[in-house]
Homo-oligomer: A and B are copies of this chain.
Amino acid sequence: MDQQPLFVKMAVDGWNQQIKATNNMLGKITDEQLRNEISPGKNRGIYLLGHLVAIHDLMLPLLRFEPALYPELVPIFIEAPDKTIADLPSVGQLREQWTTVNDKLSAHINSLTPADWFTRHASVSEEDFAKEPHRNRLNVLMGRTSHLANHRGQLVLLVPKS
């Protein structure tokens, strides 16, 4: 039995579950609540949302799909810590970008063949990849699934008690 498609399904299912749970959660947090800190002195929800948009956007070139859509978010939400930059994009804009970038990713993810997933990601050279074949595109997806789970566990603290 060819287990390559099976393994791709497992990894893609894991990704889709995290995206779905995150979207469900974001639907329960108002824009106003997203401007709050997740805990006193810690990151604000808006920063974490922007961070996730920026990281997912960079998956487009990292997975060799297409250029990033929003490279202007990198200095704000990846390179700078929260509360060091006064002018942030609005929560509404970040929500739209979050949906757009994940839809783009999803279209590429669904069109990639199982064999394509086991080719190199953009940050590893052909030479290094020959020696370290685990540094493939599917491994990026798995790593970003954990990254999303990590920050989802933080954003959920902003969901109001029902």
Contacts and interface: CB of A to CB of B under 8 A. Distances in A.
Interface in A1-37: 3-4, 6-7, 9-11, 13-14, 17-18
A17 B18 CA distance: 19
A131 interface: no
Nearest to A38: B39
A118 B154 contact: no
A3 B3 contact: yes
Contacts of A143: 14
A92 interface: no
A157 B156 CA distance: 13
Interface residues of A, number: 35
Interface stretch (A53-61, A66-74, A100-108, A133-141): A133-141
A102 to B, nearest CB: 17
Contacts of A152: 150, 153
A13 B142 CA distance: 11
A142 B3 contact: no
A24 to B, nearest CB: 14
23 contacts: A3-B3, A3-B7, A6-B133, A7-B7, A7-B138, A10-B136, A10-B138, A10-B139, A11-B142, A13-B134, A14-B142, A18-B146, A38-B39, A39-B39, A39-B40, A41-B161, A146-B146, A146-B149, A149-B150, A149-B153, A150-B152, A154-B154, A154-B157
